[in-house]
Amino acid sequence: MKKIAILGAGITGLSTAYFLKKREDAPDIEIFESGQIGGQVQTEIYEDCIIEKGPETFQMRTPLLKVLCEELNISDKLKQAQKEAAKRYIIKEGQLVKLPAGPLSFLTTSAMSFFQKIKLILALKKKFSLWPGMSFFDGTRNIFGQEFAEYLSSSVARGVYGTEAEDLEFSSAFPDVYEAIQHTPSLIKAVKKIIAEKKQYWQNELGENAFEGFEKGMYSFEGGLITFVEALRNSIKEKGVKIENTKIQRVINKRNEYYVHTKQNKYGPFDKVISTVSPGELSQIIKEMNKPASVRLNEMKYSPMTVVVQAWDKNNFSYPGFGFLAPRKEKMPMLGTLFSSNIFSHKAPKHLFLTKTMISGDSDLFNDEEVSTMQYEGLKKIFKIKKPPLWYKIYRYKQGMPKYFLGYHEWKEDVLSLLSPFPEFQLSGWHFSGMGLSDALANSYKIAKNFDQNNTKNSEE
């Protein structure tokens, strides 16, 4: 039986262990985590409110989460976002503007000018050429025009990646879209190709009936996303997976076997190592084993993030919908705000309106009260709010979100090339395999499926 070390017990690490244990030739697995189990997913209960300190929702794009919840016996705890939270907004010229939810509302939306709507319709039947290393802003401006890039592309980049569209590498942030645009005769055919290929892949993997009863959308769990984390952890522990809550000092390779060293102990030998930790942490871990790769890993860039959770008396402030995003052009003090208690009613008592605001950049110059006040003043300019929030919670992340920066693809290829002498050392996680919980699950599934393939490039699957 092979023995595997997984570095990191976030969603990627836990789900990789889960899918590996489902194999007929399931390996012996040991997970190492220096922080909290769950990684980016951390739920806090405060004043009867469920606060997600990291991701707010699980964007279900394939039936994989549905199938996994059935296997974990937590389908009854799965919560779909409320239909009334479907309204989404952006800030345009200082005003809240509703985004179109379908073709008919697209014709009447004020989020885009008439000229922009015509340009978008015409673009669907055209073929476009994109070049490696171009930004998401430049790519979408090339396809749809300046207005689209300034308001919609900017909002997407800020809302998903916590960074500016001008700083986001198109081919790395949206690889499927980038490749499809390059190799299909029109934009509309590129979109259809992506949808068809993904559906076919998961039908082949999960069965022809996998999409029966499946509904795309945003989901959470009774008790918050941590419910899913705990179910995964409990399941893999029952299957014999060991979880060591300790800080890794280094990983070394001797005669094609790997050893994990902590301050107190040495673990191993392992036949394979799967790393899901951040490049900065991994840089220190492999410094002795591969110094050139260690140096290159340390060059990863991040978007610092501050999360401001505020609870409001509904008589003072409440607004329908999912929330809003603020494009860079609007020069607002926030990236956007989620209306958390609208998305999932179980997140707060009925008399409270719970919001979650994301701020980009380092906020260490301001204390918590000052940060909350700044966001209150920012929201007051958009909504008719007369009183400050009843309470607030501030969460600061210096290494908030991995930044798929301009030149990221080249950086990633260099890292993989430098690690190629160690084919059983694999990279995964948000820094290498796509952002979000859905991407994390899908990549973990593919790692387990391709377990016997000896190459580090599984992180690109």
pLDDT digits (tens, 9 = 90+) for 392-414: 999 999 887 888 999 999 999 99
Q: Tell me: the pLDDT tens digits for 70-107?
A: 999 999 999 999 988 889 999 999 999 999 877 777 77
pLDDT in tens, 266-295: 999 999 999 999 999 999 999 999 999 999
SS3 250: strand
Q: Is 46 exposed, middle or buried (0-12, 13-18, 19+ CB in 10 A)?
A: exposed
Give yes or no for a contact between 359 and 335, defined as CB atoms under 8 angstroms apart. Answer: yes
The pLDDT of residue 455 is: 43
Statement: residue 453 has pLDDT above 70: no
Mean pLDDT, residues 204-223: 91
Name the DSSP class of 422: -
Alpha helices in 145-298 (DSSP H): 146-148, 154-156, 170-173, 175-183, 187-206, 226-238, 279-285, 291-297
pLDDT at residue 133 greater than cutoff 60: yes
Q: What is the mean pLDDT of the chain?
A: 92
Q: What is the pLDDT of residues 157-212, one digit of tens each?
A: 999 899 999 999 999 999 999 999 988 999 999 999 999 999 999 999 999 888 88
pLDDT tier at 110, thresholds 50, 70, 90: confident
Instruction: Answer with the residue of higher pLDDT: 59 or 231.
Output: 231
pLDDT at residue 461, as a whole number: 42
Helices (H), 22-133: 64-72, 103-108, 114-123
- Sign of the dihedral through C-alpha 182, 152, 301, 6: negative
Is the per-residue pLDDT at 155 higher than 90? yes
- If you ran DSSP here, which 8-state letter would residue 186 be given? S
pTM above 0.85, yes or no: yes
Give pLDDT, residue 344. 95
Encoding tokens for residue 147?
């207005």
Helix (H) or strand (E) holding 4: strand 3-7
Q: How confident is the model at residue 456 (pLDDT cuts 50, 70, 90)?
A: very low
Nearest to 430 by CA among 29, 19, 8: 8
Q: Is the confidence at residue 307, as pLDDT, over 90?
A: yes
Comparing 8-17, 55-64, 397-406, the range with the smallest average pLDDT is 397-406
Q: Count Cα neighbours of 143 within 13 Å in the Cβ-side half-sphere.
A: 30
Q: Give the per-residue pLDDT at 434.
A: 81
DSSP string covering 130-178, please?
--TT-BHHHHHHHHH-HHHIIIIIHHHIIIIISS-GGGBBHHHHSHHHH
Segment 255-263 mean pLDDT: 94
User: pLDDT per residue over 322-349, tens digit each?
Assistant: 999 999 999 988 999 999 999 999 999 9
Please give the pLDDT value at position 452: 76
What is the mean pLDDT of the segment spanning 426-431?
92
User: Has residue 18 got a pLDDT over 50?
Assistant: yes
Mean of the pLDDT values across residues 223-251?
96
